[in-house]
Amino acid sequence: MWLPCGCTSKYVASSFARRILASHLHVSGRSRCNVAAFMPEAAGFEGVSGRAALRELSVSNSESFWAAVARHRLSWSIPFHTVQDCDLSRGKIKWFEGGKLNVSVNCLDRHVHTCPERVALIWERDERGSEMKYTYRELLEMTCRVGNLLRRHGVKRGDCVTIYMPTCPLAVASMLACARIGAAHNVVFAGFSADALAERIRDAQSSTVITVNQGVRGGKVIELKKTVDTAVESCPTVKQVFVAMRTDNPVTMTARDIAMEEEMLKEDVVCEPAVMNSEDVLFLLYTSGSTGKPKGLVHTQAGYLLYAALTHRYVFSYHDGDVFGCVADIGWITGHSYVVYGPLANGATTVLFESTPIYPDPGRYWDMVERLKINQFYGAPTAIRLLLKYGDQWVNKYDRSTLKTLGSVGEPINTEAWEWYHRVVGDGRCPVVDTWWQTETGGICIAPRPSDPDAEIVPGMAMRPFFGIKPVLIDTEGELLTSNNTSGALCMAQPWPGMARTIHNNHQRFIETYFQPYPGYFFTGDGAYRSEEGYYQITGRLDDVINVSGHRIGTAEIEDVVNQCPAVAESAVIGYTHSIKGQGVYAFVVLKKGIDVKEADLSRQLNGMVSEKIAKYASPDFIQFAQRLPKTRSGKIMRRVLRKVVESDLEGLGDLSTLDDPAAVQEIIQEQSVLS
């Protein structure tokens, strides 16, 4: 694996980078006013006092707000001429048109210019106590070498490179190298199976893949290169696979494979950055929707970077010199926005966490907090719930006095977990920010902060919209709910720079999923409650997407795999409440007539199929073999009814009048009672 070399700087600002740096330094010298003390970007808004007022202004005067922030926070080679050109009814979203910039210059060169020896990355390797630090200069050099390597192997502006790597410095350098040369990246979570990887490579039409020989997680070796070998067999577009070495074990190399570190050594440490348009594609990231096919959400350059940087700065109260510890994997949007782009755009020291919360023991996170002196810790409720069960002693063993803010993301955080996080981990002195957002939103949209430092935080509530975000609730009739103390579909009434621009190769699906359900609004797919005080609380998905250990998965994706088994006639998958994972996977399976197999054997087979075709986390916790499924007269499976049965909420079965044959529900209930 590429090591920090500590050699003297060979950094020479390219002419393009120099121009950008000059424009940045010029803008930073602007006048200040009262809000400016808190938010220098908003220095132009004289007379606005307090963060709540600034929030209102950021919505009512959105264009001026975003223009000021974009000029201040990003370094442009050519300024934008149009702040936004959006039409939500058509799914048209464009920000900062006319502007030109390079994302890697914003994340690296400008910090190398001012503080080259500041630590950019701390790689908290799986092996405890073996962390490695990389300065901004070293990360820039690594990025440039990868950029040159990709260019030399024919990767061009506009191409899409698939990255299948664990969270490690070379993965970050690969993402930034794509940004540097104008290629898009498509990071695929390294826990996905060969089939899932292949599907994403094919859809993205990548000809280049970057991977490692093996991954290491929780002390176990994971054969990532072998998975890539299997995947690319069904990907005719793939011409080359770069293989980095995470472990010392050699792997079989084919004619298509290139030894990454060896080749990087031959490259120069200066790589001319491509001059990108604001709306050029920065990356694709696949996520699950309510149909079987994952969608490649597209994020573009300027708006995404700006939003990631701004939310990172203000939601977590990040300050210069802080060590930011987001433990998400880079394969998810949280890793993109709050391990890589947001922190690096702000010149932060960001932690790359390669391990698990309980390896080698349940003190891992807090040992890391002490060792790396982490100031902001950002993780998932599922891990908090797991650690809570191991007891306070694993936390109390370690010094956590550096912590200032604790963040939660990915799923609702229940009150017990929130309070433990606040009281035990944060010693009752760190604000807990429950952050709501999605792959689609690019960055955090609802969170308790920014708000005045002493403003109340309600456990388990995301609470306040971020600057420029205008959430609304809409009822089932499509009516806007204007009062408080009400629940509805969570939509956004205004565009913001971080939102996804389209679904790769399928703009129609983008429109149908997000903009057609409530014309004129962006529909999140989530339901929410707005309290008497006007605070938001997310109540869960309204579609057939479930959230297992913070990983989003479409029930239809799992059904597709289960239905491929020759013994299966049909299936229905639902999520049910799980004490650690948040939601578990429950599959109802109807066998074809005349099939005679042991249910236990078939269950094992189906679990294996789901792990192999999607990923382990999607594998059902329960499989119930049923005679038939409850359906409407038009043949739609009534998952709502199945959910109630699994929750043992027979009172809440609701209106069954549209059922084709109500006896089917009684059968399912009886079958279930035999099981439990």
Q: Is the dihedral of CA 186, 92, 334, 309 positive or negative?
A: positive
Report if residue 294 touches ligand WTA, rule: CB under 6 A: no
Quote the least distance from Cβ 326 to ligand WTA, whole Å. 11
226 burial class (0-12, 13-18, 19+ CB within 10 angstroms)?
middle
Q: How far apart are CA 151 and CA 155, in angstroms?
A: 5
Report if residue 549 touches ligand WTA, rule: CB under 6 A: no
Report if residue 547 touches ligand WTA, rule: CB under 6 A: yes
Q: How far apart are CA 622 and CA 549, in angstroms?
A: 16
Q: Closest CB to ligand WTA among 140 and 462? A: 462
Report if residue 99 touches ligand WTA, rule: CB under 6 A: no
Among 191, 525, 554, 584, binds ligand WTA (CB under 6 A): 525
Report if residue 603 touches ligand WTA, rule: CB under 6 A: no
Quote the least distance from Cβ 369 to ligand WTA, whole Å. 21
Region of 172-180, 348-356, 432-440, 512-520 interacting with ligand WTA (CB under 6 A): 432-440
Q: Closest CB to ligand WTA among 308 and 351? A: 308
User: Measuring CA to CA, how many Å separate 443 from each of 129, 337, 386, 437, 466?
Assistant: 31, 6, 26, 6, 10
Report if residue 555 touches ligand WTA, rule: CB under 6 A: no
Region of 166-174, 217-225, 433-441, 654-662 interacting with ligand WTA (CB under 6 A): 433-441
Q: How far apart are CA 545 and CA 290, in angstroms?
A: 6
Is the preceding omega at residue 360 within 30 degrees of 0, hence cis? yes
Quote the least distance from Cβ 526 to ligand WTA, whole Å. 5
Picking from 166, 168, 164, 163, the residue whose alpha carbon sits closest to that of residue 131 is 168
Q: Which amino acid is at 20?
A: I
**By three-state DSSP, how is residue 55 classified?**
helix
Site string for ligand WTA, 394-413 (x = CB under 6 A): ---------------xxxx-
Quote the least distance from Cβ 132 to ligand WTA, whole Å. 27
Quote the least distance from Cβ 223 to ligand WTA, whole Å. 26
Report if residue 431 touches ligand WTA, rule: CB under 6 A: no
If one counts every other C-beta atom within 10 angstroms of the C-beta of residue 12, the result is 9
Site string for ligand WTA, 305-344 (x = CB under 6 A): ---------------------------xxx----------
Among 541, 613, 631, 644, binds ligand WTA (CB under 6 A): 541
Q: Closest CB to ligand WTA among 347 and 412? A: 412
Tokens of 111: 């910090």
Report if residue 257 touches ligand WTA, rule: CB under 6 A: no
User: In sequence order, what E strands does 397-544 have?
Assistant: 405-409, 432-435, 471-474, 480-481, 486-492, 502-503, 522-530, 536-541
In contact, 419 and 432? CB cutoff 8 Å: no
Report if residue 462 touches ligand WTA, rule: CB under 6 A: yes
Count of residues of this chain found to bind ligand WTA when the rule CB under 6 A is applied: 22
Q: Closest CB to ligand WTA among 334 and 451? A: 334
Terminal alpha carbon distance of the chain: 50
Q: Which residue is nearest to ligand WTA (CB)?
A: 439
Among 65, 341, 436, 522, binds ligand WTA (CB under 6 A): 436
**By three-state DSSP, how is residue 204 classified?**
helix
Non-local CB neighbours of 414 within 8 Å, separated by 6+ positions? 381, 385, 460
Binding site for ligand WTA (CB under 6 A): 287, 332-334, 409-412, 434-439, 462, 524-526, 538, 541, 547, 552
